[in-house]
Amino acid sequence: MTASALDILAQHNLRKTAVRAQVLDIFLDSREALSHNDIEAHFNQVDRITLYRTLKTFEEKGVIHKAIDGGEKLKYALCSGHCSEHAHEDHHAHFHCDQCGKTVCIESMHIPAVQAPAGYQLSGAYLVLKGTCATCT
């Protein structure tokens, strides 16, 4: 069973607001990573700053994570439920479809442990798969 928007807000000690609940519903309904514009398109009218802050808060609290796909647009995807504030555990690959531009989490594929060369300090490592998604093949 999937958690509802209200469950997720409660789980992360986030106060319920109309925008937060709606943004979560959009993520729950969508099976792909979403950019700021994708989310904004679901609203009739929304303050861009409020939306920006909502996404930022969600990322900080472990509700959504950046779905790095090598593209120019920053996209976010819903976390699996094991994430908490400042402790994301979304160390999985993201698949980017060259045809439709969709980005999805591949949670079963973990990013292998990597080591930075001597003298370099690693702050992140991403695994991006590119190709054609199931809908476009």
Q: Which of 65, 78, 93, 103 binds Zn ion (CB under 5 A)?
A: 65
| Crossing angle of helices 18-29 and 48-61, rounded to 10° | 70
How far apart, in whole angstroms, are the C-alpha atoms of residue 127 and residue 130?
A: 10
b vs e for 9-35, b when ≥16 Cβ sit within 10 Å of the residue's Cβ? Answer: beebebeeeeebbbbbebbeebebbbb
Q: How far is the CB of 100 from Zn ion (least distance, A)?
A: 3
Q: Of 47 and 89, which CB lies nearer to Zn ion in the complex structure? A: 89
Q: Please tell me whether residue 68 binds Zn ion under the rule CB under 5 A.
A: no
Contact pattern from residue 72 through residue 111 relative to Zn ion, giving x for each residue in contact according to CB under 5 A and a dash for the rest: -----x-x---x----x-x------x-xx-x--x------
**Given the rule CB under 5 A, which residues bind Zn ion?**
65, 67, 77, 79, 83, 88, 90, 97, 99-100, 102, 105, 133, 136
